[in-house]
């Protein structure tokens, strides 16, 4: 008697989550140290010490009725001001508390943004390969995901995007640094995308929103810069999460930025705040809002990701894997060693390697490797990767 | 360019939330101690000391990567086991971790439940007066709220409910202790309701779910017992929140109970877990899940609500207000002193009394008074209530 939509979702399941559950079972069977679980984007570097220190200090010294109480649905004003100030310092923006809505992670923020703007049947473009939860976030509001096919180097396929824009196009979701490819889109390409969206918005007679999902902003390699989208395109909504930057995925804390330049700004902010409430989030978790108010400028130590990336790029390349070295996030997206990426990942499992088939990201023929694991896991896994590669050399 | 649905929601706004914002403005103007804000259900009694103690101990002594990391979408298994054990002790149930899904408050839990079961066009019955956010939770999934008219004493209007059940009826939401009336439905009535739902389920050929929203369970007066609905009706889903019982509304922590007797139990649990993920909650906030694991048996000191209730019942009755003394929750729902409850509440505001018109709860001709305020506020407000009553005596 559950709904048909949910029944089919249960039957299809989330490949990544299924792997997560598999991983727990295999760890129990073979010992956790002998299972190389590269399946889930769960940070492996601890939060900065100031996170726990702040939480403890708040629990001890701020008035408990305020710390745990209801606040405006948009979140504590002082916290939003602190984040705005931090963004302004980093990106030369001019945000105030009024440009921010605290959300239950970026997933919460994206749902709030989509609830705010989508009419049933509205189309939302996404560049493949991508985090397929976007499909659910879009269909939650009866929107239609429209997939833009990838280029060979996973840069933005602007030609394909242009061809797919119709009068029903309401938004485009961009995720940079990208999950699953690790690509950071260049400022030149973002500029071209902004021009395209402006031109097409005029053509179809209404705004096309750019929704920037950027939980991986703080994880970049070799000093790559991640362009700040609101500086390129006025109708940008930014969904941010502290899940990766402060290693707090379980706490469900993030924010949505609605720049003052967005069309119908006042109404949009009000609507997003109402959406936050009626979707059942009500507000972002209060204690962690207050923690973020004190730690917005910090980030976890990302050196483990840098080291893992270096080892894996070097070793997997040596073994013959074909991939683009990630510029950000903690994912690699190599070609699978046989065309069927699911068969490849099933084979990998025989070597206790948990990898996610690219088709789970609308990127068949590839696999995703999440290197947010201990360096020891990476090192111990190499022998398995070697054996896996060897079976395809025979 | 925001959606039409959201535009109309923004224009209509939430009366309660608007009052909350008004209250802040009036407090700035007249001084907080001179504004008697009875508008919002924000607990005024602190959490038990063990809440902060547990949080600090967890932050200090449990592994931080586990405390703040992802877990199964349903929540930490040990926490769900602890809650199941607590429920079993209190209600003689036989729940295990597998019957619970940790949620972002009861609002999150209800959205998860409704996402799990509703097809577009499915009808959901609600007894008026009621917390009108239910309308949004239902329409989020294209369901149709069907309002059951009240009886004079706000007991369950089972005749009216029966007449409204159609083949499209999928669920009935029950809220006891009730917001806004303070009524606790009797075991006798719950038994009759269960019989009705069973009979009608057979008649229409599919299950009618009973969704129990019970954030106020722990706030009862004069030893009233709140019947535990799963003991009465097999297809019950319970949404619970620690917002009121532990005074943690900002933390967004609660759970959904899916008893093993529910039809298609395994599939329903799996679907609810997926719904938790794809709606953007992902999981309930992790630190507070762990806190609940240690405090599931506790409740805040509710004596302030008891005292406020006593004073208000005595004094408002003396002034000529007509109401049913609340048996639970921290709300009274008296008749407004003029038929137009909105005009009445506007008049009340002139005396710096913030009251919510009953029509905001589909109960026109009444007003809601949330007595989760300090005793001092109650005492200082009496003069204003007296003056307000007096203007209607002239």
Encode pLDDT of A271-288 as tens digits.
999 999 999 999 999 999
**Residue B314 and residue B283 share a domain:** no
**Residue A206 and residue A76 share a domain:** yes
CA-based nearest distance A261→chain B, Å: 13
CA-based nearest distance A312→chain B, Å: 23
Task: Identify the pLDDT of residue A21.
Answer: 78
CA-based nearest distance B392→chain A, Å: 34
Task: Identify the pLDDT of residue A162.
Answer: 98
Task: Identify the pLDDT of residue A22.
Answer: 82
Boundary-marking domain end, from B295, B312, B342: B295
Average pLDDT value for residue range A221-248: 97
Burial of B46 (0-12, 13-18, 19+ CB in 10 A): middle
Average pLDDT value for residue range B272-300: 97
**Residue A148 and residue A14 share a domain:** no
Which residue on chain B is closest to A109 by alpha carbon?
B280
CA-based nearest distance A342→chain B, Å: 22
* CA neighbours closer than 13 Å in the CB half-sphere of residue A320: 12
> Does residue B261 contact residue A292 with C-beta atoms inside 8 Å?
no
Closest CA to A19 of A370, A376, A388, A304: A370
Task: Identify the pLDDT of residue B41.
Answer: 86
- Across the interface, whether the CB atoms of B71 and A3 are under 8 A apart is answered no
- Across the interface, whether the CB atoms of A279 and B283 are under 8 A apart is answered no
Lowest mean per-residue pLDDT among A35-44, B6-15, B363-372:
B6-15
**Residue A43 and residue A54 share a domain:** no
Within 8 A of A73 by CB-CB distance, chain B residues are 17
**Residue A164 and residue A33 share a domain:** no
Average pLDDT value for residue range A160-181: 98
**Residue B189 and residue B73 share a domain:** yes
**Residue B212 and residue B146 share a domain:** yes
Average pLDDT value for residue range A53-60: 98
- Summarised one tens digit per residue, pLDDT across range A98-144 is 999 999 999 999 999 999 999 999 999 999 999 999 999 999 999 99
> Does residue B144 contact residue B188 with C-beta atoms inside 8 Å?
no
The total number of structural domains that make up chain B = 2
**Residue A381 and residue A275 share a domain:** no
**Partner residue opposite B59 with nearest CB, options A56, A70, A253:** A56
CA-based nearest distance A119→chain B, Å: 5
- Across the interface, whether the CB atoms of B104 and A133 are under 8 A apart is answered no
- Across the interface, whether the CB atoms of A111 and B64 are under 8 A apart is answered no
Q: How many residues does chain A have?
A: 394
Within 8 A of A142 by CB-CB distance, chain B residues are 142
- Across the interface, whether the CB atoms of B285 and A10 are under 8 A apart is answered no
Which residue on chain A is closest to B374 by alpha carbon?
A65
- Across the interface, whether the CB atoms of B64 and A46 are under 8 A apart is answered yes
- Across the interface, whether the CB atoms of A47 and B64 are under 8 A apart is answered yes
User: Strand locations in A219-277, DSSP E?
Assistant: 236-241, 254-257
Domain extent at residue A169: 49-295
Torsion of CA A271, A277, A281, A282, to 10 degrees: 130
**Residue B269 and residue B163 share a domain:** yes
- Across the interface, whether the CB atoms of B52 and A60 are under 8 A apart is answered yes
Within 8 A of A14 by CB-CB distance, chain B residues are 274, 277
Task: Identify the pLDDT of residue A41.
Answer: 86
- Across the interface, whether the CB atoms of A68 and B247 are under 8 A apart is answered yes
A contact test, residue of B1, B55, B205 with most A CBs within 10 A: B1
pLDDT level of residue B299 (50, 70, 90 thresholds): very high
**Partner residue opposite B2 with nearest CB, options A59, A109, A117:** A117
Average pLDDT value for residue range A93-102: 98
Which run of H or of E encompasses A349? Answer: helix A341-350
Distances (CA, A) of B312 to B125, B183, B228, B372: 32, 16, 29, 12
φ, ψ of residue A199 in degrees (nearest 5): -60, -45
pLDDT at A385 over 80: yes
**Residue A230 and residue A109 share a domain:** yes
Q: What percent of chain A has pLDDT above 70?
A: 99
Q: How many residues does chain B have?
A: 394
In whole angstroms, how large is the CA radius of gyration of chain A?
A: 21
- Across the interface, whether the CB atoms of A70 and B42 are under 8 A apart is answered yes
Q: What is the mean pLDDT of chain B?
A: 96
pLDDT at A269 over 80: yes
Which residue on chain A is closest to B270 by alpha carbon?
A10
- Across the interface, whether the CB atoms of B1 and A280 are under 8 A apart is answered no
- Across the interface, whether the CB atoms of A55 and B52 are under 8 A apart is answered no
- Summarised one tens digit per residue, pLDDT across range B104-129 is 999 999 999 999 999 999 999 999 99
Could you give the CA distance from residue B66 to residue B69 in angstroms, rounded to a whole number? Answer: 5
- Give B158's strand partners: none
**Partner residue opposite B249 with nearest CB, options A9, A42, A70:** A70
pLDDT at B156 over 90: yes
- Summarised one tens digit per residue, pLDDT across range B342-388 is 999 999 999 999 999 999 999 999 999 999 999 999 999 999 999 99
Which residue on chain B is closest to A45 by alpha carbon?
B65
Task: Identify the pLDDT of residue B374.
Answer: 95
- Residue B198 tokens read as 């069973």
CA-based nearest distance B7→chain A, Å: 7
- Residue A1 tokens read as 């008697």
Average pLDDT value for residue range A210-217: 98
DSSP alpha helix (H) spans, chain B: 4-12, 15-30, 49-61, 64-67, 77-91, 105-117, 133-139, 158-164, 187-204, 242-245, 265-278, 286-295, 303-319, 341-350, 375-393
Q: What is the CATH number of the domain that holds B351?
A: 3.90.1150.10
pLDDT at B394 over 80: no
pLDDT at A64 over 70: yes
pLDDT at B20 over 80: no
Which residue on chain B is closest to A110 by alpha carbon?
B280
Task: Identify the pLDDT of residue B14.
Answer: 67
Decide the pairing of beta strands B144-148 and B169-174. unpaired
- Summarised one tens digit per residue, pLDDT across range B219-278 is 999 999 999 999 999 999 999 999 999 999 999 999 999 999 999 999 999 999 999 999
- Give A335's strand partners: A366
- Across the interface, whether the CB atoms of B68 and A271 are under 8 A apart is answered no
**Partner residue opposite A286 with nearest CB, options B7, B136, B250:** B250
Within 8 A of B283 by CB-CB distance, chain A residues are 250, 252
CA-based nearest distance B371→chain A, Å: 16
φ, ψ of residue B145 in degrees (nearest 5): -70, 135
Task: Identify the pLDDT of residue A14.
Answer: 67
CA-based nearest distance A352→chain B, Å: 21
Distances (CA, A) of A373 to A348, B6, B140: 17, 42, 38
- Across the interface, whether the CB atoms of B2 and A268 are under 8 A apart is answered yes
Closest CA to B59 of A49, A60, A292, A52: A52
- Across the interface, whether the CB atoms of B52 and A71 are under 8 A apart is answered no
Long-range CB contact pairs, B337-343, < 8 A, 24+:
B337/B388, B337/B389, B337/B392, B338/B392, B339/B365, B341/B365, B341/B366, B341/B367
- Across the interface, whether the CB atoms of A281 and B281 are under 8 A apart is answered yes
Neighbours of A138 (CB within 10 A): 24
Check: pTM over 0.90? Answer yes or no: yes
Boundary-marking domain end, from B246, B271, B295: B295
- Across the interface, whether the CB atoms of B280 and A7 are under 8 A apart is answered no
Average pLDDT value for residue range A20-32: 87
- Across the interface, whether the CB atoms of A252 and B281 are under 8 A apart is answered yes
**Partner residue opposite A279 with nearest CB, options B52, B70, B111:** B111
- Across the interface, whether the CB atoms of A207 and B286 are under 8 A apart is answered no
Which residue on chain B is closest to A140 by alpha carbon?
B279
Could you give the CA distance from residue B355 to residue A287 in angstroms, rounded to a whole number? Answer: 29
Could you give the CA distance from residue A15 to residue A27 in angstroms, rounded to a whole number? Answer: 18
Within 8 A of A133 by CB-CB distance, chain B residues are 277-278
B contact test, residue of A14, A27, A68 with most B CBs within 10 A: A68
**Residue B73 and residue B217 share a domain:** yes
**Residue A281 and residue A317 share a domain:** no
Boundary-marking domain end, from B295, B317, B334: B295
């Amino acid at each position: 008697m559950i709904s048909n939509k949910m029944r089919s979702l249960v039957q299809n399941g989330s490949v990544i989550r299924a792997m997560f559950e598999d991983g727990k079972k295999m760890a129990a069977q073979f010992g956790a140290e002998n299972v190389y679980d590269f399946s889930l984007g769960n940070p492996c570097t601890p939060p900065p010490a100031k996170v726990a220190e702040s939480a403890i200090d708040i629990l001890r010294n701020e008035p408990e009725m305020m710390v745990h109480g209801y606040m405006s649905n948009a979140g504590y004003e002082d916290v939003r001001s602190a984040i705005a100030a931090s963004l302004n310092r980093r990106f030369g923006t001019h945000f105030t508390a009024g440009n921010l809505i605290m959300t239950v992670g970026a997933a919460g923020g994206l749902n709030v943004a989509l609830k705010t703007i989508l009419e049933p049947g509205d189309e939302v473009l996404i560049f493949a390969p991508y985090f397929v939860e976007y499909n659910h976030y879009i269909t939650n509001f009866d929107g239609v995901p429209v997939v833009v096919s990838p280029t060979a180097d996973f840069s933005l396929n602007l030609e394909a995007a242009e061809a797919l824009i119709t009068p029903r196009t309401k938004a485009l979701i961009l995720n940079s640094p990208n999950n699953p490819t690790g690509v950071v889109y260049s400022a030149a390409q973002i500029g071209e995308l902004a021009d395209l969206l402006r031109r097409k918005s005029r053509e179809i007679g209404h705004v096309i929103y750019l929704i920037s999902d950027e939980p991986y902003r703080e994880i970049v390699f070799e000093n790559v810069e991640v362009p700040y989208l609101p500086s390129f395109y006025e109708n940008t909504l930014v969904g941010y999460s502290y899940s990766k930057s402060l290693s707090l995925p379980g706490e469900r804390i993030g924010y949505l930025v609605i720049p003052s330049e967005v069309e119908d700004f006042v109404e949009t902010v009000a609507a997003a705040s109402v959406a936050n409430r009626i979707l059942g989030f009500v507000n972002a978790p209060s204690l962690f809002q207050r923690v973020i108010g004190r730690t917005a400028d910090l980030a976890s130590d990302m050196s483990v990701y840098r080291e893992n990336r270096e080892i894996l790029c070097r070793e997997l390349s040596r073994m013959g894997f074909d991939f683009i070295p990630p510029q950000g996030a903690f994912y690699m997206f190599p070609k699978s060693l046989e065309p069927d990426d699911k068969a490849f990942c099933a084979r990998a499992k025989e070597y206790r390697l948990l990898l996610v088939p690219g088709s789970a990201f609308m990127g068949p023929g590839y696999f995703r490797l999440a290197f947010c694991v201990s360096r020891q896991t990476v090192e111990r896994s190499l022998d398995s990767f070697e054996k896996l590669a060897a079976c395809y050399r025979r």
